[in-house]
Structure 1
Amino acid sequence: MNLEAIKSIYFFEMARTRRTLLQSVVSPVISTSLYFIVFGAAVGSRIQEIDGVSYGAFITPGLIMLTLLTQCIGNGSFGIYFPKFTGTIYELLSSPVSMTEIVLGYVGAAATKGMMIGIIILGTASLFVDLSIAHPFVMLLFFVLTAVTFSLFGFIIGIWAKDFEQLNLIPMLVIPPLVFLGGSFYSVNMLPPFWQAVSHFNPVLYLISGFRWSFFEIADVNPVVSFAIIIVFLAVLMGLLTWIFRTGYRLRN
């Protein structure tokens, strides 16, 4: 394996974070602070606790997932789309670098940046509410798997997208509603039976539920099921990416 190629791609992508510090770091922190201020004041005053957990603490895993998903997809998609846009992707494809090395470099950088922001959001949340993590290892497992899976998802979106409109379609218009409707700010058990059933078709529900269980040992879905959903989604994405590189889908003229 060409480690130098992986390191070159990885550090090149990581350097972009330093150049866009306001957008990459400051903006998510401000957004999270506003969520706590607005939801804590408007909703938290009416909903004191959910399943024995204060409302502010209850929404923290959902806010972290919202940020993690959008950041990983955005970084993963832009990282590979920009070389396509400028035409430098052909230099990369013609170089002695394998598919695995390309993916490890781009996806690894996107996942790292997403996890960095997620940790910052966790630190920001601790300024507003008292947090305790019941199962740190499980939390870390969900955290890393989600970051890698959705960075890979973003990488595929970046290959698929033909323009900037398509590039932003899923991260901006699809993921936020799925997160909001996936139990970020409430428990799906609070919904009528029909909408509870509908919510279980939302894949993000399983991510948030499993992640929240690692904090408070409360979940809308069995955490084992949540873990299985992530693994299945990751396997599907890896299979799809293998097909893309074998066929050259939207990578070669």
Structure 2
Amino acid sequence: MNLRAVHAIYRFEMGRTMRTLLQSIVSPVISTSLYFVVFGSAIGSRITEVEGVSYGAFIVPGLIMLMLLTQSVSNASFGIFFPRFSGTIYELLSAPVSYFEIVMGYVGAAASKSIVLGLIILGTANFFVPLSIAHPLWMLLFLVLTALTFSLLGFIIGIWAEGFDKLQVVPLLVITPLTFLGGTFYSIDMLPPFWQTVTLFNPVVYLVSGFRWSFYGISDVSLWASVGMVLLFMALSLVIVAWIFKTGYRLKP
């Protein structure tokens, strides 16, 4: 494996984050802080507890997951789209670098940015609500697996998109609504039975539920269902990425 090539791609992508620190880190943290203020204070004054956890603390895992999903997709999609847009992707494809190494570099960098951002938001949340993490290793595992999985999805979107406008279609019109409807701000047990059943078809429910379990030991679905959903989505994304490179979809002129 050409680790030097992987490191070069990874370092370049991480360097771009440092050059756009305000947009990459500061802006998402401020946005999430506003969620804590609005939902934690306004709604939290009316809903004091959910399943024995204060409402402000209850929404923390959901908000971290919301930011993790959207940032993973955005970072990875822009990271691979810009070389396609500028034409430098062809120099990379003609270099002695395997497809696997290219994916490792771009996806690894996007996932790293999202994980760092998630940890910063977790630290910021302590200023608003008292937090406890019952299963820290599980929390880190969910954080890493989710960041890698949705960075792979972002990589696929970056290959698929024909313009900058399409880069935002999936995060804005698909991922964000699914996250809001996936138990970010409530437990699905609070819904009528029919809507509980409908909500179970939302894959984000399993991600939010598993991540919340790592904090408080409570969840809407079983832990293994959450882990299985993450691994299934990751496997599906890997298959699609492999197909893209095998067929040259949107990569070959």
TM-score, structure 1 as length reference = 0.99
The offset of 1:71, in angstroms, is: 0.7
Amino acid at match of 1:34: L
Amino acid at match of 1:230: V
Query: What corresponds to 2:63 in structure 1?
Result: 63
SS at match of 2:168: helix
Task: Check conservation: 2:41, 2:56, Cα contact below 8 A.
Answer: no
Is 1:187 the equivalent of 2:206?
no
Is 1:239 the equivalent of 2:233?
no
The offset of 1:173, in angstroms, is: 1.9
Query: What corresponds to 1:6 in structure 2?
Result: 6
Once the two structures are superposed, residues 217-237 of structure 1 have per-residue CA deviations (whole angstroms, 9 ceiling, x without a partner) of 000010110000111111111
SS at match of 1:67: helix
The offset of 1:174, in angstroms, is: 1.2
Query: What corresponds to 1:129 in structure 2?
Result: 129
Query: What corresponds to 1:154 in structure 2?
Result: 154
Query: What corresponds to 1:222 in structure 2?
Result: 222
The gaps in structure 2 that reach 5 residues or longer are: none
Is 1:17 the equivalent of 2:17?
yes
- Structure 2: distance between partners of 1:241 and 1:26: 31
- Structure 1: distance between partners of 2:171 and 2:87: 23
The gaps in structure 1 that reach 5 residues or longer are: none
Query: What corresponds to 1:209 in structure 2?
Result: 209
SS at match of 1:46: coil
Once the two structures are superposed, residues 20-77 of structure 1 have per-residue CA deviations (whole angstroms, 9 ceiling, x without a partner) of 1111111111111111111122100000000000000000000000010111100000
The offset of 1:112, in angstroms, is: 0.2
Amino acid at match of 2:197: A
Query: What corresponds to 2:28 in structure 1?
Result: 28
- Structure 1: distance between partners of 2:120 and 2:28: 9
Query: What corresponds to 2:47 in structure 1?
Result: 47
Q: 4+ residue runs of structure 1 moved beyond 2 angstroms?
A: none
Q: Superposed, which structure 2 residues align to 1:57-96 within 5 Å?
A: 57-96=57-96
SS at match of 2:59: helix
- Structure 1: distance between partners of 2:166 and 2:234: 22
Q: Percent identity?
A: 67
SS at match of 1:80: helix
Query: What corresponds to 1:38 in structure 2?
Result: 38
SS at match of 2:134: coil
Amino acid at match of 1:30: I
Once the two structures are superposed, residues 58-98 of structure 1 have per-residue CA deviations (whole angstroms, 9 ceiling, x without a partner) of 00000000010111100000000000000001001111100
Task: Check conservation: 2:159, 2:250, Cα contact below 8 A.
Answer: yes
- Structure 2: distance between partners of 1:55 and 1:8: 44
Query: What corresponds to 1:99 in structure 2?
Result: 99
Amino acid at match of 2:90: Y
